[in-house]
Structure 1
Amino acid sequence: MLVHDKIRLRPIRLPHDILIAYPWYQDREVLYYSEGKGTNPYTRETINKMYSYLSKIGEVYIIEIKQSEEWIPIGDATLSKEMLPIVIGVKKYRSKGYGQQVLRLLIDRARKLNWSKLVVRKIFIYNTASKKLFESFGFDVISTSVDQYGRVYESLELYLK
C-alpha cells in the first residue's frame, strides 16, 4: 500500500474491485481521454481482462482518498515498465490535484524498485491536462504517433535518478 496524507494506492483486489471500477468505465469522458475517441463503455468482463493484463505487467492500484475517516475509491493507477495509466474515475475529484499526488507516489515506488525510467506509452494530443501533469514531473515527449483509428498520441519518458 502506498500512502501520502489523505490519499492511498491500495493494491487491487479482484474480482471485488471490478464492481467499484465499473461506473468509471461507463463514463465517456474517462474513455475519451484514456482510451480514445469512439471507445464504447466497458463491460465487467472487459474491466476484468484489463486489470488481469495490467496485473501481469505491473502493480495495479485503486486510488482512494480519506474523507471523514473513511477511504473512498476514486480511480485506478498502474505502475509498469511498459505504461503508467492513471484514471480519476469519479468526475468530482478530477482536476483537484489527486493525479499529481498519485504520480508522485508511483515515481517514489519506481525509485524504491531501482527502476531507471518510467514510460507513458500513449497520451492523446487532445489530453492536455494529462500531458501537463507528466511534464510537470519532468517527463519528456519521445515520440508522436498515430494509432489504427487515426488518433494522434505522444509517448513520454522520465529517467529516474
Structure 2
Amino acid sequence: MTERIIDNELRLIPYYRNDEASLPWYQDLDVCKQVDNREEPYDVELLHRMYDYLTVHGDCYYIEYKGVLVGDVSLRENSEIAVVVCKEYQNQHIGRRCVLEMLKLAREKGMEQVKANIYSFNGQSQRMFQSVGFEKTAEEWYESKL
C-alpha cells in the first residue's frame, strides 16, 4: 500500500499507529454517533482493535488535508467503504474527494461494486455518498456499481 495523492491539498497516507492524531476524532461524541451510533467515546484499546481490523481486512488510510491529519478512509476486501472526517474539517468536500479516490482504488482492485453502511439518521453522509453516485439499496446501505 502506498500513499495516494488526490490533489495539491489532499493525500491519503497508509495507516500507521498514531493515537495522538486519531484518538481525538473518536472521542468526539458527535463523530462517534455518526460513525458507530455510539454514545460513548473510544478508548485506545477500541481504537487499536478497529484500526487493526481495517488494516487486516483491506486498505486503511489517514486523510491528510493541507498537512494536517483530519480523518481516515478505508476500503475493505468485502467492498465496503468507510470515511471519517473530524468535525472541524467536515463540510469542505474532503470526505467526498476521499470516497472518489476509494472508488478508483476499488476499480484498480477489480471490484464490480462498493457499498457503504450509513445510519438512517446520518443525512450528511447519505447526501455525500449519493452525490458521488451511490444509490440506497436497503435501510442503511448504499451501493455504487463500478
| TM-score, normalised with respect to structure 1 | 0.84
Maintained 8 Å contact 1:9/1:61? yes
Aligned to 2:84: 87
Give, in whole Å, the separation in 1 of the partners of 2:32 and 2:48: 16
> Which protein shows a greater Rg?
1
SS of 1:124's equivalent in the other structure is coil
Structure 2 unaligned residues grouped into runs of 5+? none
Matched ranges for 1:9-158 at <5 A = 9-14=12-17, 17-36=18-37, 38-66=38-66, 71-82=67-78, 83-89=80-86, 91-120=87-116, 122-144=117-139, 154-158=140-144
The code of the aligned residue for 1:126 comes to: F
Supply the AA of the counterpart residue of 1:47: L
Give CA deviations for 1:28-69 in whole Å, capped at 9, x if unaligned.
Answer: 010011111x43111111100000011111100000012xxx
d(CA) in 2 for partners of 1:25, 1:143: 27
Q: TM-score, normalised by structure 2?
A: 0.92
- 1:20 is matched by which residue type in structure 2? A
Q: What stretches of structure 1 of length at least 5 have no aligned partner?
A: 145-153
Q: Which structure shows the bigger proportion of residues in strand conformation?
A: 1
Shift of 1:92: 2.0
- Matched positions, count: 142
Structure 1 distance, partners of 2:136, 2:90, is 23
Name the structure 2 match of 1:150. Answer: none
Structure 1 stretches (4+) deviating beyond 2 angstroms?
Answer: none
- Tell me the SS of whatever aligns to 2:51: helix
SS in 2 for 1:87: strand
Q: Deviations over 1:90-130 (max 9, x none)?
A: x221101111111111111111112111011x211111110
Identical columns (%): 29
Q: Is the 8 A contact 1:9 1:64 kept in 2?
A: yes
2:75 is aligned with what amino acid?
Answer: L
